[in-house]
Amino acid sequence: MRCGSRVFWCALLTVTTLSAQAPVARRGLPVVSDSVRMLPGVPLTFDAFFDIVSRNHPVVRQARLIEDGAEGDVTAAFGNFEPKVEASWETKRFESSTPGTQSLYFNYADVALKIPTPFGADFKIGYERASGRFINPQFTTPRNGLFTAGFSLPLGQRILTDERRTALRSARALRDVAQAERAAMTNKLLFSASKAYAGWFETALQLQVIRDGVRLADLRYVAITGRVRAGDAAGIDSIEAAAELNRRRAQLAGAEQSYFAASMDLTSYLWDSRGQPSDLRLGAVPSDSGLGRVTLDSASVPALLARVMRLHPEVLKAEGKVAQAGAERALARQAVIPLVSADLAALRTVGGAGFNVDDALGREGNYKGAINVSSPLLFFKERGKFQSTDAKFDRADSEARETRRDVVLLVRTAINDLSQFEAQLALQRDAVRLFRILSAGERAKFDAGESNLFLVNTRERQVLDEELKFVALQAKYLAARAALAVAAGAPGRLAELR
């Protein structure tokens, strides 16, 4: 039965009204309608996938080893401040003037406990005892030995810092660098994994869209061939329907291939808690759960950038290198000061009264002391070392400033990309809606006998193409969210960016 053009406009008005009344998803990625839906199966959410990768992937385990090694270096640097016990004993016996007899020349025993301190001074508690006919006078002690308690204090070079304090500062700075390096390695892995999930998400939606297209083409082919056999349609329409069905089946084969490849790419990131490769669960499909839109206005950008400067691993790495270079420069700077140290120890005999520090500091007290001075005349080595470390510090500081600038630009670019994809999604959603109206109108005209199958197929192809573009934008939107999280140095907070 043929109807007038009024049928088309009535159908068009009906479709427009229904489209306007269709509910819009308020959670999850933006969708056009229920026709752009996910494949049936068991959802594997991004948060669940992200948790598996961040806990079990070998790269994450390797990154932890970097930090463990740096912790070992810090522990080794602390060893320079570890108390030490030192003990020595010397003796000499030699044949005397009487044949067959030996004479004791000397016995000397020295035991000491040295306690280094973080501010450069060293404390020492010891006991020494010397006996024999030919003992060196400076080592002579009372018969029962001598207790000593004193300290060594730098007065020139090394009063502000020294090799052991510099080693500890450098080790701590390198530990910060290692922690940042671990975070950077993890960030790169998680960004790559996020892109793999976005690709899996895109190919899954594409596959469902194309399957719907094949289903429609198959239904139309059955209907058209029935009408041709009944004499209600021209035989050429069955050829048109068959050609369109074959074209969409070929497209479906390509979509299935892409989905399989994306699934394998995603599977490469799956490992179990024992460090063994794991397979993607049978029937698992991606999900947009927890991946709602990100709302970032101009007022929230400064706060985000401030957090980036505190947390971004590249910034932390650069700052750690600056701290290390600063420690080396401080050591080289004070090396141009003469090396001066003072040693003072109070003495007490075994069984005598306690140590009297005031007495030891007096001219008539029981003590032993020394002042040591050492200094080059022209400081060529020291000045050259300072020049070298100063240049290293300037390079590290310049690189840190450049890193901060690059990170800020990356964050701003990622924010802009996210905003642009948001706008494109809105436009593409509207384009899909409009092309669906045109397709529905063309089908109404065809049913009314005012159009042909070629135009109906063409309109449907346009709808499918626009839906596939919309699906691709959804995946790009998800990838842009991951890019923003990585640019901000916090891919682990991707789910928080809503």
Q: What is the pLDDT of residue 302?
A: 83
Residue 323 has pLDDT above 80, yes or no: yes
Q: How is the beta sheet containing 339-349 ordered, strand by strand? A: 84-95, 102-116, 122-131, 146-154, 339-349, 367-374
What is the distance between the alpha carbons of residues 358 and 394, in angstroms, rounded to a whole number? Answer: 48
Cα-based distances in Å from 62 to 67, 75, 181, 277, 485: 9, 20, 11, 15, 22
Task: Classify 28 as helix, strand or coil.
Answer: coil
Minimal CA–CA distance to 149: which of 352, 354, 342? Answer: 354
Q: Which two tokens stand for residue 102?
A: 């030996």
Pairing status of strand 42-44 against strand 284-286: parallel
Q: What is the pLDDT of residue 349?
A: 80
Phi and psi dihedrals of 357, rounded to 5? Answer: -65, -40
Q: Which two tokens stand for residue 350?
A: 């075994």
pLDDT (tens digit, 9 = 90+) per residue, 165-201? 888 889 989 888 888 888 888 888 888 888 899 899 9
Average pLDDT over residues 403-428: 86
Q: What is the pLDDT of residue 351?
A: 66
- Give percent above pLDDT 90 in the chain: 20
What is the distance between the alpha carbons of residues 97 and 86, in angstroms, rounded to a whole number? Answer: 36
Confidence of residue 19 (pLDDT cuts 50, 70, 90): very low
Residue 333 has pLDDT above 90, yes or no: no
Q: What is the pLDDT of residue 363?
A: 56
Q: What is the pLDDT of residue 102?
A: 67
Name the more confident of 488 and 23: 488
What is the distance between the alpha carbons of residues 227 and 397, in angstroms, rounded to a whole number? Answer: 79
- In the chain, the amino acid numbered 283 is G
Average pLDDT over residues 88-112: 81
- In the chain, the amino acid numbered 251 is Q
CB 301 within 8 A of CB 487: no
Residue 160 has pLDDT above 50, yes or no: yes
CB 38 within 8 A of CB 204: yes
Name the more confident of 364 and 324: 324
Report which DSSP code applies to 298.
T
Report which DSSP code applies to 271.
B
Residue 487 has pLDDT above 80, yes or no: no
Average pLDDT, the chain: 81
Task: Classify 406 as helix, strand or coil.
Answer: helix
What is the distance between the alpha carbons of residues 53 and 197, in angstroms, rounded to a whole number? Answer: 11
Q: What is the pLDDT of residue 426?
A: 86
- Give percent above pLDDT 70 in the chain: 84
What is the distance between the alpha carbons of residues 214 and 196, in angstroms, rounded to a whole number? Answer: 27
* Residue 348 parent element (H or E): strand 339-349
Q: What is the pLDDT of residue 158?
A: 81
Residue 495 has pLDDT above 50, yes or no: no
What is the distance between the alpha carbons of residues 307 and 489, in angstroms, rounded to a whole number? Answer: 9
- In the chain, the amino acid numbered 124 is K
Rounded to the nearest angstrom, the gap between the alpha carbon of residue 230 and the centroid of all alpha carbons in its chain is: 68
Confidence of residue 290 (pLDDT cuts 50, 70, 90): low
Sign of the CA dihedral running 11, 13, 14, 15: positive
What domains, with CATH codes, occur in the chain? 5-71+168-324+395-496 (1.20.1600.10)
Q: Which residues pair with 107 in a beta bridge?
A: 91, 131
Q: Which two tokens stand for residue 455?
A: 């135009």
Sign of the CA dihedral running 432, 436, 438, 439: positive
Average pLDDT over residues 108-137: 89
The pTM of this model reads 0.73
User: Whats the size of the chain, residue-wise?
Assistant: 498
Residue 9 has pLDDT above 50, yes or no: no
What is the distance between the alpha carbons of residues 159 and 340, in angstroms, rounded to a whole number? Answer: 9
CB 70 within 8 A of CB 179: yes
pLDDT (tens digit, 9 = 90+) per residue, 211-255? 989 998 999 889 889 888 888 777 888 898 899 899 999 999 999
Q: What is the pLDDT of residue 249?
A: 94
Q: What is the pLDDT of residue 253?
A: 95
CB within 8 A of 120, min separation 6: which ones? 153, 154, 158, 159, 160, 161, 162, 165
Residue 65 has pLDDT above 80, yes or no: yes
Residue 491 has pLDDT above 70, yes or no: no
Residue 391 has pLDDT above 90, yes or no: yes
